[in-house]
């Protein structure tokens, strides 16, 4: 069964159309790369999938395992198995990564069962250390305040740790490579590859081929002016790197 299916999705911000008929299906075990120039709607799509209230869906549907999620709030979508890795993660001074993750886990559990007393501290510590060991992260990192004073690479590593803890059905990674130097990019990519499994699908939003040198997609999609205009395998990203978006635009124009 398709984990995530986007059907003819049209989205406005106020009265301005941003997405103009997006169709996309992601199966468990697949990595889909979404590429396109700035302002074409890639991050809008990520936000809409997670239920951002500033966007208005005027047509179409988003289904997770065959069930429409349009009426669900963001926290319910998260409990259903969606995860968004933010392009610009915010800092939360005074809240450690460990406390943030434990509160999030307990909030999820109590949403399912109001009587749930939450994960015990010893069980949480064992789980968190196991996840950090899997990602080859120093345990001291969990004691730092979430994203406060973090470098770009540290912020993205914290996001990947959250993904490891929440174990989503679909992970949407919104320009995870943004602002990363080559060493940080390699570390974050290694984390994504480590977590990738046959139960999780990934939508990887990126501008650049360099990210795809480390995280190998099964499918590549090109978005222009709010639509996915071209889809293919990894070779499509290589073609884009060589010829740019103008060749894609010319190809699309010949179909009109």
Question: If you average pLDDT over every residue of the chain, what do you get?
Answer: 93
Q: How far apart are CA 11 and CA 56, in angstroms?
A: 5
**pLDDT > 60? residue 143:** yes
Q: What is the average pLDDT across 134-141? A: 94
- What is the chain's length? 256
Q: How far apart are CA 157 and CA 7, in angstroms?
A: 32
Q: Which domains are seen in the chain, by residue range?
A: 4-91+169-255 (3.40.50.300), 92-146 (no CATH)
pLDDT score of 163? 95
Strand 67-68, strand 56-64: pairing: antiparallel
- pLDDT tens digits for range 217-228: 999 999 999 999
Q: What is the average pLDDT across 40-45? A: 95
pLDDT score of 254? 81
pLDDT score of 256? 61
pLDDT-derived band at 252, boundaries 50, 70, 90: confident
pLDDT score of 253? 80
pLDDT score of 26? 97
- pLDDT tens digits for range 55-108: 999 999 999 999 999 999 999 999 999 999 988 889 999 999 999 999 999 998
pLDDT-derived band at 24, boundaries 50, 70, 90: very high
- Give 3-state DSSP helix, strand, coil % of the chain, rounded to 5: 40, 25, 30
**pLDDT > 80? residue 28:** yes
Bridge partners (DSSP) of residue 232 are 220
**pLDDT > 70? residue 16:** yes
- pLDDT tens digits for range 197-215: 889 999 999 988 889 999 9
**pLDDT > 90? residue 132:** yes
pLDDT score of 244? 86
Q: 84 near 46, Cβ under 8 Å?
A: yes
pLDDT-derived band at 1, boundaries 50, 70, 90: low
Q: 202 near 196, Cβ under 8 Å?
A: yes
Share of the chain above pLDDT 90, in %: 76
Q: What is the average pLDDT across 242-246? A: 86
pLDDT score of 246? 86
pLDDT score of 236? 93
Burial environment of residue 250 by CB neighbours within 10 A (0 to 12, 13 to 18, 19 or more)? exposed
């Amino acid at each position: 069964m398709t984990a995530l299916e986007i059907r003819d999705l049209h989205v406005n911000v106020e009265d301005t159309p941003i997405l103009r008929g997006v169709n996309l299906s992601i199966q468990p075990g697949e990595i889909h790369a979404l590429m396109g120039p700035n302002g074409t709607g890639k991050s809008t799509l990520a936000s809409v999938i997670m239920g951002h209230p500033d966007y208005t869906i005027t047509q179409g549907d988003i289904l997770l395992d065959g069930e429409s999620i349009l009426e669900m709030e963001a926290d319910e979508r998260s409990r259903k198995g969606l995860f968004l890795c933010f392009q610009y993660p915010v800092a939360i001074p005074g809240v450690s990564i460990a406390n943030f993750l434990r509160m999030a886990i307990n909030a999820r559990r109590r949403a399912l069962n109001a009587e749930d007393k939450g994960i015990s501290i010893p069980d949480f510590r064992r789980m968190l250390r196991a996840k950090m060991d899997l990602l080859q992260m120093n345990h001291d990192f969990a004691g730092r305040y979430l994203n406060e004073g973090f470098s770009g690479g540290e912020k993205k590593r914290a996001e990947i740790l959250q993904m490891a803890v929440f174990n989503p059905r679909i992970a949407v990674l919104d320009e995870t490579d943004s602002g990363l130097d080559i060493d940080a990019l390699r570390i974050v990519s290694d984390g994504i590859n480590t977590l990738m499994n046959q139960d999780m699908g990934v939508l990887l939003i990126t501008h650049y081929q360099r990210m795809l040198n480390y995280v190998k997609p099964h499918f590549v999609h090109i978005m222009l002016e709010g639509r996915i205009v071209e889809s293919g395998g990894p070779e499509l990203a290589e073609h884009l790197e060589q010829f740019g978006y103008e060749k894609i635009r010319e190809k699309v124009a010949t179909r009109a």
